[in-house]
Amino acid sequence: MIDESSLRAVRGHLRATSRIVVLTGAGISAESGVPTFRDAQTGLWAKFDPQQLATEEAFRANPRMVWDWYVFRRELIGKVSPNAGHRALAEFASRHPGRLTLVTQNVDGLHQKAGSEGVLALHGNIFDDQWLDTPKPCCNADAAAAGSPPYCDRCGNLMRPGVVWFGEALPMRALDAAQVAARACDLMLVVGTSGAVYPAAGLARTTAGQVVIINPEPTELDDAADIVLRGKAAQVLPQLLLEE
């Protein structure tokens, strides 16, 4: 059971501040039924290590296999819907324009699907495509030749999923915006993340604001928290954001 006094304290912080950052991780999406990175290794894909598929090297070595794996993951994710936690964040931001900056490590687009705008997606979006190599004038994404993966029929450049692979830098515009918001905020809610993946997890250690962890299990950021709420996002966020 969630501690009621802690809930009241966080509601008080929410009422008192106009600068809120929410950082979300895989936990909030898992509550919607999105398979975690390793949970997607089922059936045909059970014999593969996801860390060996989600790299540029793997894609260049076997583009069809990696592309088909992402098609499989897109199909899994496409079957799920935002949960009460996603919706509570979107509704709060709609009622309080400009107060909340939403930063996510998730690539499933569920925050956007729930109605959140301006989401800082640090790891990209699995439903987006981009060119593998720097596009030439002949590279037109809207006219890419069909294939696994699609490609430019003039120069052979391949389309790839618009996600951050292992060994790649995060998109600088989103990361810079997240870091600026983290440093300036008065309250940060860290939701459904283990706190093990950097630089995203580092946002909670750079803010001067109050840090609230929302997670059913201990995380690597608990030591940075002012308040820890042990519970699932779909249960806790509506209690905080829709009853504040």
Residues catalogued as catalytic: 123
Are 58 and 52 contacting, i.e. CB atoms less than 8 angstroms apart?
yes
- Residue 89's nearest CA partner among 114, 106, 109, 125 is 114
Residue 201: HSE in the Cβ half-sphere, 13 Å Cα cutoff: 15
> Can you tell me the distance from the alpha carbon of 134 to that of 158, in angstroms, rounded to the nearest whole number?
10
In 3-state terms, what secondary structure has residue 21? Answer: strand
In 3-state terms, what secondary structure has residue 208? Answer: coil
Residue 117 one-letter amino acid: E
Beta-bridge partners for 189? 22, 212
In 3-state terms, what secondary structure has residue 54? Answer: coil
> Can you tell me the distance from the alpha carbon of 219 to that of 232, in angstroms, rounded to the nearest whole number?
13
Bridge pairing between strands 210-214 and 187-191: parallel
> Can you tell me the distance from the alpha carbon of 29 to that of 35, in angstroms, rounded to the nearest whole number?
8
